[in-house]
Amino acid sequence: MNTKFIDFEKMKKIHFIGIGGISMSALAEIVLSKGIAVSGSDRQETSITRHLAGEGAYIIYEQRAENITDDIDLAVYTAAISSDNEELLAARNKNIPTMVRADFLGLLMKEYKRAICISGTHGKTTTTSMLAHILMEGDKNPTILVGGILDSIGGNLRVGGEETFITEACEYTNSFLSFFPTTAVILNVCADHLDFFKDINEIRQSFKRFAALVPKDGVVVINGDIPDVEYFTKELQCKVITFGRDKEKNNISAEAIEIDGRACCSYDLIADGENKGRITLNVTGVHNVYNSLAAAAAAMSMGISPEVIGAGLAGYKGTERRFENKGEFNGVTVIDDYAHHPDEIKATIETAKNYPHKDLWVVFQPHTYSRTKALLSEFGEALSMADYVILTDIYAAREKDDLGISAENVLDEIKKWGGKGSYISSFSDIEKFLQKKCKPGDLLITMGAGNVVEIGDFLVK
């Protein structure tokens, strides 16, 4: 079979190795909606795998060669699956075509007339969710694949019609270069994933190649405030729409930004110098003004009216782990946020400063050794903006502890920038410390891409 093309009408059964992941499970559910049988394997049963089983998938909670049966037409696997995985080897030994998840997602989006891919170092989940709300408000019946839990669609997937597909597009391992966008959104291009990319120049090259994937009749929506934005756009043959702070420089911008007592913003939406009306957001932070501008620009390129855009954005109330209010303990408000890059941390703390509070406490769990080492000074500067920071051990994710970096190094950098903090390795000790030190009226943010959310959940409960 030519793995550069899939005739889904001829597919009878697809097997997913690692089916329980948030993205893999969504792909499996889309396949089920096409009437194709799905099997898959994962290490343990979860609410995600139970849902898939209820939809008709056959799931095995052990990865072994016997799971690869002769009736399987294609085996899809994640980049995290090792080359010596029993199922992957068995599929190849049986000459069953295999395909990594990003390639499969790319071919899947070719089944839709319009494929909107939201990229950027940060803001992808929020912007995808915002645009999803606009499209639903405009009765576009989109198929939506988002990297977080969006309550309005009951999870991370909405199976809609075959007209419009919207998804996040991640640059890590250049996976978004396997996609086929008709609309590509680039929110920002910053140094990250330096365990894969050599430097910021290599990252910029990757995003430039991503923009170049858009066909002549497509659209690239890009943040016009990115340094030397022309590097990404000058050779493009498709339509380019820029958004950003300066209305003289960008097609889409915001004026008269106001921040309410919940740290949510409203603003005048400006398109090519014309005021298109007042936008009111129900998510916190000035940074979300610019995420919403990107969503508005993409929607306008589809002919969606400013009124529908405004209603869609007003209806978006946030995504899980994005400045999510978890509740209170002892009069202390607990917020959880996914921020794990210095730019995201700054945006979250700046948002918190407009949120009612006395002292601002941050519990930060660094994510990956490579990111922590590469951006150490930037982490120190960003975290020093809080009144007090507690550092947990680094969340290793996919990495090994072999770079000579630790949370204590982050704490040293915070202190260099004039901040205050402590390193506490045990979650239970952190919880005891916070119960003792936090006062009524304080604001506590658990922050990071790992399992630091468990601390806030425990305190609230």
Catalytic residue list contains 168: yes
Say what the pLDDT of residue 170 is: 92
Say what the pLDDT of residue 4 is: 63
Angle at which helices 376-383 and 342-353 cross, to 10°: 0
Q: Write down the catalytic residue from 49, 98, 121, 125.
A: 125
Residue 206 near residue 171 (C-beta atoms within 8 A): yes
Give the per-residue SS3 of 38-72: EEEECCCCCHHHHHHHHHCCEEECCCCHHHCCCCC
DSSP structure string for 388-399: EEEE---B-TT-
Helix, strand, coil share of the chain (percent; to 5)? 35, 25, 40
Predicted TM-score (pTM) of this structure: 0.85
Q: Write down the catalytic residue from 29, 98, 124, 182.
A: 124
Residue type, 239: K
Q: Residues in the chain with pLDDT < 50?
A: 1-2
d(CA 377, CA 420): 15
Q: Write down the catalytic residue from 168, 171, 344, 381.
A: 168
Say what the pLDDT of residue 425 is: 92
Beta bridge partners of residue 148, listed in sequence order: none
Phi and psi (nearest 5°) for 460? -70, -40
Say what the pLDDT of residue 155 is: 84
Catalytic residue list contains 280: no
Ordered domains of the chain (ranges, CATH): 13-101 (3.40.50.720), 112-315 (3.40.1190.10), 324-460 (3.90.190.20)
Catalytic residue list contains 436: no
